[in-house]
Amino acid sequence: MPEGHSVHRIALQFERDFVGHTAAVSSPQGRFAEGASEIDGLRMLSSHAIGKQMFLEFENDKWLRIHLGLYGAWDFFGIVSPITDESDARGSMGAPRLRRALRMAESESAKSTDLETFPPEPVGQVRVRLMTDESVADLRGPTTCEVIDSAQVAVAIDKLGPDPAEDATRASEDRFVKRVRTKPTPIGLLLMDQSVVAGIGNVYRAELLFRARLNPHTPGRNVSVKRLRAIWQDWVYLLDIGIRTGMMLTMDDLSPADEAKARRSRTDRYWVYKREGLPCRVCGTNILLEEMGSRKLYWCPKDQKTPRTVAS
């Protein structure tokens, strides 16, 4: 699930349904029992996402910092308000809608098959549950889940590069460009470096590089300022689509039929990601797979040739 767009959606969900409410906080799994007791019964004051991290602010300068890692996920139950125009359109037109518990316990098939009971029984390894009178959020599998104070929040944020969804100013674009231009590191690694730009993951990396027709091995300092600005702007654009739709839709300008296809199935969604050995959608050359930074990198060797010029 989690590249930047999903974390922003989750932060928005908390803003809608939890901020301003007092939350009962528990750790059904037990591994976060102490932290849960620190914020149990406090009012949630704000919800922020920066890159792939989320910060939930509670009274008494208590902040819950969450990083989902590879497998982390939130499940929401009860009142789950639409968070974007797009989900409004699919849901019940602006009105909060009731979502039934999505996943039932595998073990007890007899019981909870009917409409929901609120709150639902925690299923699986729920690290932390936040519960208001009307809504429940269950977190499983995070790489980070801790209670910290505002000074520690500042430290965490300080390590992160700019995130256009959180700060869309020209200054943050400049920060990104400057950072990349000082480094000999391949651009394919820099886009994944959260201190260079926060929120891009393995899928968006591959897709952004293809959209820019840029060779992933190009050293950061050899990528022209103009091109870097274009990449930043493209990230602004794709991230916004991701936040609105909840999907990493990177092939814009599709026919309505192809657009529907892309939404329906992952295999029809990307330019290069997970398409190794398949013909490039633009030039027909087989898409390559290689390791970069111990992650899988997909790219088209023809369309993403090394730029001849190394100019600024």
Q: Which segment (89-97, 165-173, 175-183, 201-209) binds DNA by CB under 7 A?
A: 201-209
CA of 278: how far to CAs of 140, 267, 273, in Å? 35, 11, 11
Which candidate in 159, 264, 266, 295 is catalytic?
Answer: 295
Q: Is 295 an interacting residue with respect to DNA (CB under 7 A)?
A: yes
Q: Is 286 an interacting residue with respect to DNA (CB under 7 A)?
A: no
254 membership: H or E segment, kind and range: none
Which candidate in 16, 52, 62, 129 is catalytic?
Answer: 52
As a whole number of angstroms, the distance between CA 303 and CA 299 comes to 9
CA of 237: how far to CAs of 41, 218, 259, 276, in Å? 39, 23, 17, 26
Q: What is the DSSP string of 10-72?
A: HHHHHHHHTTTSB-EEE-TTSTTHHHHHHHTTPBEEEEEEETTEEEEEETTTEEEEEE-TTT-
Q: Is 264 an interacting residue with respect to DNA (CB under 7 A)?
A: no
- Judged by CB under 7 A, the chain residues 94 through 113 that form the site for DNA are 103
List the structure tokens of 155: 């430290």
Q: Is 279 an interacting residue with respect to DNA (CB under 7 A)?
A: no
Among 109, 294, 308, 309, binds DNA (CB under 7 A): 294
Q: Is the distance from CB of 167 to CB of 55 less than 8 angstroms?
A: no
Which candidate in 2, 82, 120, 186 is catalytic?
Answer: 2
226 annotated active-site: no
Among 70, 154, 282, 310, binds DNA (CB under 7 A): 70
15 annotated active-site: no
Given the complex with DNA, which of 134 and 240 has the nearer CB atom?
240
What SS3 class is residue 216?
coil
Catalytic residue positions, numbered:
2-3, 52, 295
Contact positions toward DNA, by CB under 7 A? 1-3, 6, 29, 31, 51-52, 67, 69-73, 103, 123-125, 127, 140-141, 143, 159, 192, 194, 201-203, 248, 274, 294-296
